[in-house]
């Protein structure tokens, strides 16, 4: 996530405000940023519940949105895990045979937000100040019908994105994808991690299993898709994850 160059003033902030400021063109100052984060600290638990190991350890399925899931028949296998992480708008209805039915954690950005029920944790990777504002407004100005409680919200420290980008991707791309960050998060939280729905289609795009990609030149945008995929293959090779590549 960090850009190379001379350090800016106040960049010692633990929430990496200056990095986000440069990448997003943010014009508001550190005072506004601190006020916003203080609202987050007051509204949501500092230590939300995270997956805990059972007698035989904690198993987690991280389900990506790749078209490679289509026709995979992985549904029952995915649902068998203790915890199931899904990203952004990954659908289950109508695709149960391939992707399963259970979702315990939903990681998303405001731009990819969708309704989730009160049995699912909302996992937010804040990338800009507006992401934090959106979260506060969602629980104050909007009635979340049957949605998650404040105790079911997990706000991942923005430094985690920097950590994944620099330590795992060696600075490739502008910043890691949501899927990549959830993979690394699961490695930190779970005893056993299984990965589903990652990889490009025949055109080199990470098409979604629930829709037809119209823009054939989309590829992975600012995300280093090929680097992330190679990382997954290396993790699988060394036995750190079980990778189900799909059809």
Q: Supply the mean pLDDT for the chain.
A: 81
pLDDT class for 219, splitting at 50, 70, 90?
low
Which of 74, 175, 209, 244 is catalytic? The answer is 175
Instruction: Say which residue, 12 or 60, is predicted with more confidence.
Output: 60
Residue 32 structure tokens: 């506004």
Domain 17-244 sits in CATH at 3.90.1480.20
Closest CA to 206 of 217, 190, 191: 217
pLDDT class for 25, splitting at 50, 70, 90?
low
Quote the pTM value.
Answer: 0.82
Residue 77 structure tokens: 């296998």
Q: At what angle do helices 178-189 and 225-237 cross, to 10 degrees?
A: 30
Rounded Cα distance between 15 and 45, Å, is 17
Q: Is 175 a catalytic residue?
A: yes
Q: Give the contacts of 76 (CB within 8 A, at least 6 positions apart).
A: 100
Instruction: Say which residue, 195 or 223, is predicted with more confidence.
Output: 195
Would you call 106 exposed, middle or buried from its count of C-beta atoms within 10 A (0-12, 13-18, 19+)? buried
Closest CA to 174 of 31, 65, 19: 19
Which of 121, 165, 223, 244 is catalytic? The answer is 223
Rounded Cα distance between 21 and 141, Å, is 26
> What is the per-residue pLDDT across 196-216, written as a single tens digit (0 to 9) for each?
999 877 767 778 888 876 665
Q: Domain coordinates of the chain in residue numbers?
A: 17-244
Average pLDDT score over residue span 144-150: 68
> What is the per-residue pLDDT across 81-122, written as a single tens digit (0 to 9) for each?
999 999 998 999 999 999 999 999 999 888 877 888 888 999
Q: Is 223 a catalytic residue?
A: yes
């Amino acid at each position: 996530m960090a850009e190379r160059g001379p350090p800016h003033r106040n960049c010692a902030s633990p929430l990496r405000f200056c990095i986000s400021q440069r990448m997003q063109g943010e014009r508001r100052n550190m005072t506004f940023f601190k006020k916003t984060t203080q609202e987050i600290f007051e509204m949501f638990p500092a230590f939300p519940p995270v997956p805990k190991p059972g007698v035989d350890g904690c198993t987690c399925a991280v389900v990506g949105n790749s078209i490679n899931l289509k026709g995979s028949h992985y549904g029952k296998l995915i649902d068998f895990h203790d915890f199931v992480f899904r990203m952004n708008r990954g659908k289950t209805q109508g695709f149960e045979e391939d992707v399963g039915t259970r979702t315990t954690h939903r990681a998303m950005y405001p731009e990819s937000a969708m309704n989730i029920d009160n049995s699912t944790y909302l996992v937010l990777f804040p990338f800009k100040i507006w992401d934090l504002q959106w979260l506060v407004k969602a629980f104050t100005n909007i009635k979340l019908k049957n949605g998650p409680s404040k105790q079911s919200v997990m706000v991942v420290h923005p430094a985690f994105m920097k950590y994944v980008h620099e330590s795992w991707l060696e600075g490739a791309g502008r910043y890691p994808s949501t899927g990549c960050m959830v993979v690394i998060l699961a490695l930190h939280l779970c005893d056993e991690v299984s990965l589903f729905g990652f990889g490009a289609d025949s055109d080199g795009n990470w098409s979604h299993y629930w829709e037809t990609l119209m823009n054939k030149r989309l590829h992975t945008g600012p995300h280093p898709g090929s680097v992330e995929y190679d990382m997954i293959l290396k993790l699988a090779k060394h036995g750190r994850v079980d990778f189900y590549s799909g059809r």
